[in-house]
């Protein structure tokens, strides 16, 4: 009578939020380590890249469906899923830099 809906992404929303927040924190920490200042939020280029990374992660999280069976994965499967999401976000960044022709404004070490 009452069947559980297995394909719902809402049950893994907490994992998506943690991934999303830590991705943004990693970007800020990389900026601070590279440039030695907290001017990340005043830099217009970096703020735009933050939005692009956020959108790329959201598209990756919903389209790749990598949060399926997240609690029962092996280490190998977890590594594969992590590499998939990182590659998708990185390709999204590179695609955006190519389209807008602003790759000269960004450090390759920061990406």
Q: Scan for tokens 């929303």, then name that residue.
A: 13
Least confident among 59-68, 73-82, 85-94: 59-68
What is the largest distance, in Å, between two alpha-carbon atoms of the chain?
Answer: 60
Most confident stretch, 2-6, 7-11, 63-67, 107-111: 63-67
Distance CA 111, CA 104 (A): 12
| This prediction's pTM | 0.74
Average pLDDT over residues 36-57: 78
Asked if 103 and 97 count as a contact pair (C-beta separation under 8 A), the reply is yes
């Amino acid at each position: 009578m009452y069947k559980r809906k297995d394909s719902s992404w809402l049950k893994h929303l907490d994992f998506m939020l943690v991934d999303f927040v830590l991705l943004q924190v990693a970007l800020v920490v990389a900026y601070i380590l590279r440039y030695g200042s907290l001017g990340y939020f005043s830099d217009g280029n970096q703020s735009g890249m933050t939005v692009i990374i956020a959108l790329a992660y959201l598209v990756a999280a919903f389209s790749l469906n990598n949060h399926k069976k997240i609690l029962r994965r092996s280490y190998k499967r977890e590594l594969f899923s992590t590499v998939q999401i990182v590659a998708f976000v990185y390709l999204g960044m590179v695609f955006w830099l190519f389209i807008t022709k602003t790759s000269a404004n960004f450090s390759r070490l920061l990406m």
